[in-house]
């Protein structure tokens, strides 16, 4: 019963807390603050998991809270790969910021891109005008990182934003259409070869979803096309998939991927990609027109231009309280912050950003009251990765699961974490349709450039 109780607690406590369902903070109760006047301004940059959590946690603070983002929506990034593989529509994993926070009386929103931050002057330069702040929360996330590999940056497809996912879906579906009329076997093979670089959770989930998309389109849309022509490759420098997972789960994930027809190229790296040929370490060349890059991210250029210390990944080196050194009124959270626990930097994951956003809000509330900020302590909720239909791996507080049971846990956790009842309902319907009929109805090519 002990492990079952742990799982029950995870599903109905940890996951909903990660979904911004409430403004509860384990650090302090900001509802006790005096609301008589709002003479302070808190600016949060970025409407991701951390920024949104911080703003909601400041709902009772005696300050004006302004959220700035270049997009008017909050994006549920963990399901981006499903948009890229025609499993979900873009609007099902995004929700307008004003719709989420519109009832928060001290909240305001500015849709603008932040171009520069002056920490000394406590000001921001944005495309919507200059802003001054009393307290700042930088939750700007990260950007795809391309190493100095010939042709990679200009030809590989990243997966960080909504437009990236739509671009991948358009590209992959267009490759299938072009392959149906290709005159040579070599040209057809290059069009039907889909490669993913990076076997972390994003890469593994992407490769598994691509293998299932291939199965659907091969059977339903191109029955006369040679099934042997379709290939899905997963390239990883490490000698295992999901390197951060327990070894047992890593091996299980590799076995599941191989059963689904994914070719694993472990212990090797990409040495070049010109949009026509994928070159791997050792000189192997694979005709390929699709390379999805899931092998690395780093801090944004905005963070790297602040003039403060950053890590090798381009993330801000923050204090234990998440404050930027030398600037006690400014905080960095989520992917923008480099924070070490047990000698290792915390990963760029939603649970980290959410907990950091909660503490940053609590510390600002404490500063408004004249109290000292608290130190950050990360509580690891566990690791989850799905590998397509009926298959996933999970490590939750010592409980290791694989296969169907882990897949059910993954479904419930992600369904609970999606912001908005309508979005959760639509995603549930799509998942149920895919599960019952093994079909993906969103196989449409919508290219705004045409």
Active site residues: 205
Q: Is 52 exposed, middle or buried (0-12, 13-18, 19+ CB in 10 A)?
A: buried
Separation between Cα atoms, residue 353 and residue 34, nearest integer Å: 28
Are the C-beta atoms of 99 and 77 separated by less than 8 Å?
A: no
E strands in 76-221: 94-96, 107-111, 114-118, 123-126, 129-132, 135-138, 142-144, 157-158, 193-197
**Best CA proximity match to 179, nearest among 211, 213, 227, 138:** 227
Q: What are phi and psi of 247, to 5 degrees?
A: -55, -40
Alpha carbon 357 to chain centroid, angstroms: 16
Q: Which 8-state DSSP code applies to residue 400?
A: E
Helix H segments across 299-417? 301-304, 350-369, 404-417
Q: What is the dihedral of CA 12, 15, 17, 21, to 10 degrees?
A: -80
Per DSSP (E only), the strands in 300-391 are 316-317, 323-324, 327-332, 337-338, 340-341, 344-345, 383-386
Question: Shortest CA distance to 306 belongs to which of 316, 320, 318?
Answer: 316
Task: Spell out the residues 6+ positions from residue 401 whose beta carbon is closer than 8 angstroms to its own.
Answer: 392, 393, 394, 395, 409
Q: Both tokens of residue 273?
A: 């990609």
CA distance 112 to 101: 17
| CA–CA distance, 240 with 31 (Å, rounded to integer) | 48
Over the range 107-128, which residues count as b (16 or more CB within 10 Å of their CB) and which as e?
bebbbbebeebebeebebebee
Q: Which DSSP symbol is given to 441?
A: S
């Amino acid at each position: 019963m002990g492990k079952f109780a742990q799982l029950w607690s995870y599903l109905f406590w940890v996951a909903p807390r990660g979904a911004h369902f409430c403004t509860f903070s384990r650090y302090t109760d900001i509802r006790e603050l005096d609301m008589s006047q709002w003479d302070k301004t808190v600016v949060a940059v970025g409407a991701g998991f951390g920024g949104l959590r911080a703003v909601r946690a400041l709902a009772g603070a005696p300050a004006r809270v302004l959220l700035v983002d270049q997009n008017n929506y909050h994006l549920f990034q963990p399901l981006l790969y499903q948009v890229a593989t025609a499993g979900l529509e873009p609007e099902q994993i995004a929700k307008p910021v004003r719709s989420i926070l519109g009832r928060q009386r001290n909240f305001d929103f500015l849709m603008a891109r932040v171009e520069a931050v002056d920490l000394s002057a406590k000001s921001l330069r944005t495309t919507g005008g200059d802003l001054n702040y009393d307290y700042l929360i930088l939750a700007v996330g990260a950007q795809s990182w391309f190493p100095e590999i010939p042709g990679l940056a200009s030809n590989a497809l990243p997966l960080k934003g909504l437009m990236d996912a739509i671009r991948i879906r358009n590209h992959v579906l267009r490759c299938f259409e072009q392959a149906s009329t290709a005159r040579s076997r070599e040209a057809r093979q290059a069009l039907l070869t889909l490669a993913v670089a990076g076997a972390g959770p994003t890469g593994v989930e992407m490769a598994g979803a691509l293998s299932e998309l291939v199965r659907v389109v091969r059977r339903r849309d191109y029955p006369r096309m040679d099934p042997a022509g379709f290939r899905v490759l997963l390239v990883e420098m490490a000698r295992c998939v999901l390197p951060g997972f327990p070894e047992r789960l890593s091996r299980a994930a590799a076995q599941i991927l191989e059963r689904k027809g994914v070719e694993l190229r472990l212990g090797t790296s990409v040495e070049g990609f010109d949009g026509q040929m994928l070159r791997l370490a050792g000189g192997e060349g694979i005709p390929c027109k699709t390379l999805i890059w899931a092998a690395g991210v780093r801090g944004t250029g905005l963070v790297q231009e602040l003039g403060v210390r950053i890590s090798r990944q381009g993330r801000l080196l923050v204090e234990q309280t998440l404050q930027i050194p030398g600037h006690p009124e400014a905080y960095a959270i989520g992917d923008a912050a480099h924070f070490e626990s047990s000698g290792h930097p915390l990963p760029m994951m939603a649970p980290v950003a959410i907990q950091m956003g909660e503490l940053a809000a609590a510390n600002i509330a404490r500063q408004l009251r004249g109290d000292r900020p608290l130190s950050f302590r990360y509580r690891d909720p566990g690791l989850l990765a799905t590998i397509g239909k009926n298959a996933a791996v999970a490590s939750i507080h010592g409980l290791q699961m694989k296969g169907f049971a882990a897949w059910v846990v993954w479904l419930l956790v992600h369904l609970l974490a999606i912001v908005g009842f309508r979005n959760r309902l639509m995603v549930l319907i799509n998942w149920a349709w895919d599960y019952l009929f093994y079909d993906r109805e969103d196989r449409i090519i919508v290219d705004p450039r045409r």
